[in-house]
Structure 1
Amino acid sequence: KHAFYWDGDGVPGKGGRLIDLGAFGYRDSVAFSINDDDWVVVEGDSTNYKRDHMNFHCFLWHKEHPARRIATKAMSRFRGINRHGQVAGWHWPGDGGYEGIVWRDGKISLKGRILGWRHSAALAINARGDMVGWISKEGPAGAPGDRDSRLALLFGWGPLGTLGGTASHAYDINDGRWVVGAADTASGEPHAFLWRNDRMYDLNDLVMNRNDWLLTKAISVSNSGRIVGEGFRAGERRGFMLEPGKLVPRLRQPDENDSGEDYQHPDKARAGEVLLDEDHRKHRAEDDADLP
C-alpha cells in the first residue's frame, strides 16, 4: 500500500486527482497529516513482524518540492504537522520508554513524560504549539501497554480523563484548543469525544438527530469546528463529519449526576453556534505569527 495526496477539488476526472506518493524505497507508506502549506507527513515501513521489531522512516512530502527525511538520532515516528512546520511524534531515547517530541528543520524538542507513566506519544500539534496524544504505563517487554492502558494527553496540561471508563486517546487539536479523540464509557465501549474548556464531552450527546449512529472515534477537528471520525450505523462501520451548525443547541448534562433534563449550554451564542465561543473566534481572527 502507498500513501496518496488528493490534488484539487471534486472527483477524479472532474477537477481532482489522486497522486501516489510512493514508498520512498520501503515496502509500504502511509500519509498521516497535511498542513496549510501542503506539506504531508508520510511514514515508510519495511517492517517484517516475523523477523524485525520495526523499521519505520518518516518524510515530509510536497508536490512542488523535494521530499525531506525527518531524521533523528533515536528511532522515531511522526504523525502531525502545523502551519509552522513543527512535526509532532515520539522517539525511543534509549531508556526503554517512548517520549513525545517535536521536530522542526532538523532540530528536536523533547516534551517529556508524566511521573508514574513510562511512555508518551504526540499525535497532533496546532499552530500555537499545543500537542496532544497519549500516555501509557509499562506493557509487555517494556513496550507501551495496549489501548486499554492509555490515557489521552494534552502536553503541558495533563491527562484529559475518560467518559467513565479506563482508557482514552487524543487524536487532534485545533487552534482554539479543542481536542478530539476516543474515550471509554463505564461499560468499556469507546465513544468519540470533544474536550474543551477543561471538560470532556461525549459527541453522541452533542449531535441532534443521530439517526442510529454510534460515534466511536473523532479523528480530526478543523479551526472552523468541523469534526471527522468513524462510527457505526446499523452495525456497519462508516465515516462521519460533524458541522458546528448541526450540533444540538440544547445539550444534555454529560456528568454522572445527569438528571436527563436538557439545559442551555453557557457557550451558546445562537442555534447552530454551540461550539463556537468568543475565545475560539479570537483565535481564528488572529494574524499568523511565527512561534518563538
Structure 2
Amino acid sequence: MKGDLMQSRSPWYRIVAVFVAVAVSAVFVPQPAVAAPSWRLIDLGAGDDSEAIAINDLGHVVGNRNGTSFLLRDGRFTELGSLPGGYTRVSDINNRDEVVGWSFVDGDTIHGFLWRRGTMIDLGALPGGRDSQALAINDRSEIVGNADNGSALHGFVWRDGVLTDLGGDPVNDYSDAQDINNAGQIAGYWGAGNYSAVPVRWSRGERLQLSDELGGATGINGRGHVTGSFVVEGGGFSRGYLWRDGRFTAVDPPAGASFFIVQKLNNRDQVVGRSDLGGVVWQDGRARVLPKLGEAAEANDIDEQGRIAGYSTTAGPGFTTRAVLWVRQGFSFPGGR
C-alpha cells in the first residue's frame, strides 16, 4: 500500500518500475454480462498502460501514463508536467482542480508537489530528509503525505507553504498520512510500517488510535468516517473495514473473492477498492464486482455522485491496463460520455 513506499531508499525505485500510468479521453465499452447490472464501464481513452487515480465532485479525473500525469475535465486533457527530474505520479484532486502527487527533482530524489492552475509547486522535504510524496488534498488546499527525515518515514500535513511533521511512534518512529477531509481530519498509519502499524485518525491536533489490530487507514470522508484494511496472518492487507462513530463494520469481499483491499470512500459510505475478482464497490454490507475489460481491475476513488475512477486490464494476449470510469446506468459522464 502507499504507506509502505519509503522504508528505505530502494522502494522508490521499485515504485517507478511497478506503477502503471494514466491519462484520459472516452469511449463507451459495453458491460460484460457477468458484471453487476447497475454499473457500466467507460474507457477514458487514455491509451495503453494508463490508470485513473482520482475524481472530484465535478467529474474531473486525474491519472497516470508512462511516467506522465494528466487532468481530464470537460472532455479535454491537460498534461501536468513535472518537477526538474521528470517522471510524475498523481495521487489526488480537489474540487478546485488542484492536483497533488510526486515527481523526481533529480536522479534519485523525489518530492511531493501541488499542481495549481498550470504551475507545479515543490512541497520540499522534512528537515534532515530528502524524499517526500503528497497523497491527498482537501478543498482548503491542505495536503497530506509522507516524507523521510533522514532516519524514518513520517506523515506530514502541508498548509500555506509550511510542511509540518506529524511525528512517529516513539518505539518504531513511523507514521503515514493517507487522506484528509475538509475539516482537516487525517487518516493514516502509526507504528512500525511494513504491515506492523495500526490505523489512526488525527483531528484538531490529537491522534486517535482506532484499533490495536495491525492495519492502516487509507480514506476519510467529510463525516469523519474512516476506511482501511487490517493485516491477515502471514502479512498483507486483505480485510477491509469501515470505522464510524467509534465502531467497526467489516467491509467483506464480494461472493467468490478471497480478499478486498479498500482504497477510498465518499460521504455516503460507499467504499471502493480491489479484489481478486476485480474492482469492487461496497455499501451497506453489500459488495459488487464492477465490469471489466479483461481479467483484472481496480477501483481507486469515488465521488459524491458515485462515479468511480480506476483501471481495467484488457482481454487477450499482450494485455495492458486502461484508465476507466464506472458510472451507474443512466448516468452520463461530463462531456457527453
TM-score by length of structure 2 reads 0.55
Aligned-residue CA RMSD in angstroms? 3.3
Matched ranges for 1:175-186 at <5 A? 175-184=182-191
Distance 1:168 1:36 in 2: 29
* Cα displacement (A) at 1:187: 11
* Match 1:161 to one of 167, 170, 174: 167
In the TM superposition, residue 173 of structure 1 has moved relative to its aligned partner by 0.7
Deviation (angstroms), 1:204? 0.8
- How has the CA–CA distance of structure 1 residues 237 and 161 changed in structure 2, closer, same or farther, with 3 Å as cutoff? same
Q: 1:95–1:68: structure 2 CA closer, same or farther, 3 Å change rule? A: same
2:89 aligned with 1:77: yes
Q: Does structure 2 retain, via aligned residues, the 8 Å contact 1:12–1:18?
A: no
Q: Is the 8 A contact 1:160 1:200 kept in 2?
A: no
Superposed displacement of residue 83, structure 1: 0.7
Farther-moved stretch of structure 1 (88-97 vs 218-227): 88-97
Task: Report the number of matched residues.
Answer: 213
Query: Structure 1 length as normaliser, TM-score?
Result: 0.63
8 Å contact kept, 2:185–2:203? yes
Shift of residue 186 of structure 1? Answer: 10
Counterpart residue type for residue 219 of structure 1: T
Matched, 1:17 2:27: no
Aligned to 2:328: none
2:314 paired residue number: none
Please give the alpha-carbon distance, in whole angstroms, between the structure 1 residues aligned to 2:193 and 2:137.
29
Pair member with larger Rg: 1
| Counterparts of 1:177 and 1:197, CA distance in 2 | 7
CA gap 1:40/1:240 in 2 versus in 1, 3 angstroms: farther
- Which deviations, in whole Å up to 9, do the C-alpha atoms of 1:244-282 show, x marking residues without a partner? 3737xxxxxxxxxxxxxxxxxxxxxxxxxxxxxxxxxxx
Structure 1 pair 178–21 and aligned structure 2 pair: CA distance change class (3 A):
same
Bigger shift: residues 187-196 or 28-37: 187-196
- Offset, 1:217: 1.4
Find out whether 1:29 has 2:50 as its counterpart. Answer: yes
What CA distance in whole angstroms lies between the structure 1 residues aligned with 2:123 and 2:95? 19
The residue correspondences of 1:125-204 to structure 2 (distance < 5 A) are 125-137=137-149, 149-155=152-158, 156=162, 158-164=164-170, 165-184=172-191, 189-204=196-211
Question: Does the Cα contact within 8 Å between 2:132 and 2:145 map onto a contact in 1?
Answer: yes
Q: Deviations over 1:48-75 (max 9, x none)?
A: xxxxxxxx1111235x512322223531
Q: Deviations over 1:141-197 (max 9, x none)?
A: xxxx8xxx3111112252112344222211111111111112215998211111112
Change (3 A) 1:67 1:188: closer
Structure scoring higher RCO (CA < 8 A, sep ≥ 6) equals 2
Q: Percent of aligned pairs with the same residue?
A: 28
Query: Does the 8 Å CA contact 2:145/2:157 hold for their aligned counterparts?
Result: yes
Unpaired segments ≥5 residues, structure 2: 1-19, 27-33, 249-337
**Structure 2 SS opposite 1:218:** strand
**Paired AA for residue 221 in structure 1:** I
Alignment partner, residue 92 of structure 1: 104
Q: Distance in 1 between matches of 2:50 and 2:125?
A: 29
Paired letter, 1:61: L
Residues of 2 paired with 1:187 and 1:25: CA distance?
A: 33
> Which runs of 5 or more residues in structure 1 are unaligned?
6-10, 46-55, 139-144, 206-213, 248-292
Q: Distance in 2 between matches of 1:93 and 1:204?
A: 37
CA 1:166 to 1:60, structure 2 compared with 1: closer, same or farther past 3 Å? Answer: same
Residue 105 of structure 1 pairs with residue 117 of structure 2:
yes
